[in-house]
Each structure stands twice: as structure tokens, then as C-alpha cells.
Amino acid sequence: MTAAADVLLDRALVEEATKKSGLIWVRGTGPARALWHVWHEGAAHLVGDGPGEQPFPPGITDGAAAEVTVRSKDKGGRLVVWNAAVAVLVPHSEEWEAAVAELKGKRLNAPDAERMTERWARECVVVRLTPGEIRTALPDTSLAAPPLPTGATTRRPVPDALPRLLLKRRRRS
């Protein structure tokens, strides 16, 4: 195969893998974060960094570079890693409107679905990640990292009264 054919195959791999994956791992200047996205017009688009939306990793700013890792939707393993040029879209620009139309269809459980795009324009950031260098070779070592700090908690012990309450309901039936 020629080098040009290899580049086209790598681009096709990035597009198909990113389209099919529900999450992509994005790294700016700090640890990577799993982010939901849409693939639109040759790039991954994200919305976040606002109230009620996903937080972006540090360093995801206009003109910056990011590293995107795409996992397999079936097995969850790493398929491809690509460098991205980050562009923050200007609210209500033609490119922003097109990206938001796609993002809106993928946003699940929005508390304000009918006014969501207005909120995104006021309080959030819409980002375009355009693929650059593509790396399909997998590393020899594990890239496992400790979980990021979060306000989420683990389950607490079951309250003592809960089993009795559940048993009462079964007896009545």
C-alpha cells in the first residue's frame, strides 16, 4: 500500500471508531476525561464546562492541542489515539448551530430540553476536535490511571429497617 492509502485508512478508522463509540477519552494538559460527543463534518464535537454539563479536562481551550483515545463500543478496549486541534465555537455562529443541532439529539436526560440550546449558548462551551496525527499502534505497557477525584460516593450500608419494610410488602401480596 502507498502512504496516501495508509493515511486514508487511518482517517476512516478514526471517523468510524469515533462515530460508533459512545465516549471518547480527551486529554488536555491534565488527566484524561471520558466525554460524550458527536461526530459531525469530520470532527468530534463536545458540549460542556457549564452547569449541568460534563466538565472538560484542563487545557481544552481555543487553539490548544488535545489527545483523543477512542475505545471499542463492544469490548471497551483502546482502538485508536489521535491528536486533535481544539476550536471553541462561537455561540450562534453557523458552525455552532450545525454542531448544536447534532449534539442536541444525543443529549440524554437534559433537565431543560426545550431551552437547552439557549443555556448552552449562555453558560457552556461547544468545542470542535479536528483530527491530526493518528496513532494506531498500541503501547506495550498499561496506561491505567487512578480515578479522578469526584463528589460521588459509594453505597452506604442498608438501613436496618429496610429488610422489614420489604418483607411486609411481599406478605401483603
Q: What is the pLDDT of residues 20-76, one digit of tens each?
A: 998 999 999 989 999 999 999 999 999 999 988 999 999 999 999 999 999 988 887
Q: What pLDDT score does 118 carry?
A: 95
Going by their DSSP bridges, the two strands 78-88 and 65-71 should be labelled as antiparallel
Q: What is the pLDDT of residues 160-172, one digit of tens each?
A: 877 777 777 655 5
Q: What pLDDT score does 169 carry?
A: 60
Q: What is the pLDDT of residues 7-19, one digit of tens each?
A: 889 899 999 999 9
Q: What pLDDT score does 75 carry?
A: 82
- Higher-confidence residue of 35 and 4: namely 35
Q: What pLDDT score does 99 carry?
A: 97
Q: What pLDDT score does 131 carry?
A: 96
Q: What pLDDT score does 173 carry?
A: 54
CA distance 60 to 30: 10
Q: What is the pLDDT of residues 62-112, one digit of tens each?
A: 999 999 999 988 887 888 999 999 999 999 999 999 999 999 999 888 888
Which residues sit opposite 47 in a β-bridge?
126
Q: What pLDDT score does 109 carry?
A: 84
pTM for this predicted structure? 0.81
CA distance 87 to 93: 13
Task: Write down the CATH number for the domain with range 3-138+145-172.
Answer: 2.30.110.10
Q: Which three cell numbers stand for residue 154?
A: 459509594
Residue 69's nearest CA partner among 147, 8, 126, 17 is: 17
If phi > 0 it is left, if psi is from -120 to 50 it is alpha, else beta; for residue 12 that is alpha
Distance of CA 2 to the CA centre of its chain: 33
Boundaries of every domain in the chain: 3-138+145-172
